[in-house]
Amino acid sequence: MQSALPFQPGTRLFAYLRDSGHEDQDLSIPQQEAQIHDWAIAHQFIISRIYKDEAKKGSSVVGRAALQEMMNAFRHNCAEAGVVVWKYNRFARNVDNAQFFRAEMRNLGYVFYSLNDNIPDGPAGRVFEALIDYKDEQFLLDLSIDVKRGLRDLVQQHGCVPGMPPRGLRREPVNIGNRRDGTPHFGHKWVPDPETAPLVKQAFEMRAAGASLGEIHAATRLYGSISSYATCWSNKIYIGTLKFSDLTIENYCDPIVTTDVWLRVQEIQKTMGGQHRVASNTTDHPRRQTSRFLLSGIANCARCGAPLFGHSSKQRNGSLLDSYVCTGAYRLRNCTRHRIPRHDFEQAVIATFQTEILRGEILQRVYDELQAAQKEIILEQDTKHADINQKLSNLRRQIKNITNAIMEHGHSKNLLDNLSDLEREQLRLLNEQAKFESLRIMPVPNLSQPELQERSDRIIELLKTSDQERLRTILRALIAHVDVDRNSNQLTGTIYYYYPPPLFILHEKNIMIIPFAELAMSSAYQYATTFSAQLRYHSQIRQNSSVPGGQKMA
pLDDT at 146: 59
d(CA 396, CA 11): 18
Q: Which of 2-16, 88-102, 141-155, 229-243 has the lowest mean pLDDT?
A: 141-155
Eight-class DSSP state of 355: I
pLDDT in tens, 322-352: 889 998 887 777 787 788 899 899 999 999 9
Q: Does 236 score more than 90 pLDDT?
A: yes
For 106, residues 6+ apart whose C-beta sits below 8 A from its C-beta are 112
Amino acid at 334: N
Shared-domain flag, residues 25 and 128? yes
Is 260 within a domain?
yes
Residue 281 lies in a domain: no
Residues 229 and 136 in one domain: no
Residues 106 and 215 in one domain: no
pLDDT bracket for residue 277 (50, 70, 90): very low
Amino acid in the structure at residue 337: R
d(CA 128, CA 121): 10
Same domain, 29 and 126: yes
Residues 16 and 124 in one domain: yes
Which residues fall within 8 angstroms of residue 502, CB to CB, at 6 or more apart? 477, 478, 513, 514, 515, 516, 517, 520
**Could you tell me the pLDDT band of residue 127, with boundaries at 50, 70 and 90?**
low
Burial of 509 (0-12, 13-18, 19+ CB in 10 A): exposed
d(CA 312, CA 287): 12
As a whole number of angstroms, the distance between CA 18 and CA 67 comes to 9
User: How many C-beta neighbours within 10 Å does residue 308 have?
Assistant: 25
Give the number of other Cβ atoms within 10 Å of residue 536's Cβ. 12
Which of residues 223, 247, 276 is at a domain's end? 276
183 residue type, one letter: T
> What is the predicted pLDDT for the residue at 94?
65
Query: What is the amino acid identity at position 419?
Result: L
Query: Which range scores top for mean pLDDT: 47-61, 110-124, 290-304?
Result: 290-304
Phi-psi category of residue 21: left, alpha or beta, with phi > 0 → left and psi -120 to 50 → alpha: left
Q: Is 494 exposed, middle or buried (0-12, 13-18, 19+ CB in 10 A)?
A: buried
Domain match, 20 and 135 both:
yes
Which percentage of the chain shows pLDDT scores above 70?
76
Q: DSSP assignment, residue 60? A: -
User: How far is the C-alpha of 226 from the C-alpha of 331, rounded, in Å?
Assistant: 4
What type of residue sits at position 154?
Answer: L
Query: To the nearest 10°, the Cα dihedral for 171, 177, 180, 183?
Result: 70
Task: For residue 228, give the CATH number of its domain.
Answer: 3.90.1750.20
CB atoms within 10 A of CB 410: 8
- Could you say which of 231, 251, 276 is where a domain stops? 276
Lowest mean pLDDT among 247-251, 409-413, 442-446: 442-446
CATH number at residue 85: 3.40.50.1390
Q: What does the alpha-carbon distance between residue 86 and residue 76 come to, in Å, rounded to a whole number?
A: 24
Q: Please indicate, yes or no, whether residues 18 and 93 belong to a single structural domain of this protein.
A: yes
Name the domain count of the chain: 3
pLDDT of residue 143: 55
Residue 49 within a domain: yes
* 3-class SS shares of the chain: helix, strand, coil, % to 5: 50, 20, 30
**For residue 345, what pLDDT is reported?**
92
Name 340's bridge partners.
Answer: 324
Which carries the bigger pLDDT value, residue 71 or residue 282? 71
On whether residue 22 sits in a domain, the answer given is yes
- Cβ distance 74 to 118 under 8 Å? no
Rounded Cα–Cα distance for residues 77 and 356 (Å): 38
| Spatial contact of 334 and 365, defined as CB atoms under 8 Å apart | no
Quote the pLDDT of residue 265.
92
- What is the spatial distance between Cα 338 and Cα 329, in angstroms, rounded to a whole number? 8
In DSSP terms, 326 is beta-bridged to 308
Q: Which positions ≥6 away from 524 have C-beta within 8 Å? A: 441
Q: Which amino acid is at 437?
A: E
CA distance 144 to 396: 55
**Domain hosting residue 268, numbered range:** 197-276
Domain shared by 137 and 203, yes or no = no
Q: Is pLDDT above 50 for 79?
A: yes
Of 195-199, 282-286, 378-382, the least confident: 282-286
Q: Say if residue 546's pLDDT is above 70.
A: no
- Indicate whether 138 and 17 sit together in one domain: yes
Round to whole Å and give the CA distance between 363 and 444: 13
- DSSP type of residue 28: H
Residue 448 lies in a domain: no
Indicate whether 523 pLDDT > 50: no
Asked if residue 312 is part of any domain, the answer here is no
pLDDT, mean of residues 425-448: 74
Residue 505 pLDDT more than 60?
no
Residues in the chain: 554
Q: Between these two residues, 381 and 82, which has the higher pLDDT value?
A: 82
In a domain, 34, yes or no: yes
Q: How far apart are CA 308 and CA 330, in angstroms?
A: 10
* Burial of 116 per CB tally in 10 Å (0-12, 13-18, 19+): middle
Average pLDDT, the chain: 78
Distance CA 219, CA 271 (A): 23
Q: Which of 393, 410, 439 is the last residue of a domain?
A: 439
Q: What is the pLDDT of residues 30-69, one digit of tens each?
A: 888 888 888 888 888 888 888 888 866 645 555 677 888 8
36-40, long-range: CB within 8 Å, 24+ apart, which pairs? 36/84, 36/86, 36/115, 39/84, 39/115, 40/13, 40/84, 40/427, 40/431
Higher-pLDDT residue of 417, 550: 417
More confident site: 63 or 480: 480
pLDDT at site 500: 67
Q: What is the pLDDT of residue 461?
A: 86
Asked if the structure places residue 7 within a domain, the reply is no
Q: Of 314, 338, 312, which Cα lies nearest the Cα of 326? A: 338
User: To 5 degrees, how large is the angle CA 42–CA 47–CA 50?
Assistant: 130
Return the amino acid letter for 326.
C
**Is the pLDDT assigned to residue 194 strictly greater than 90?**
yes
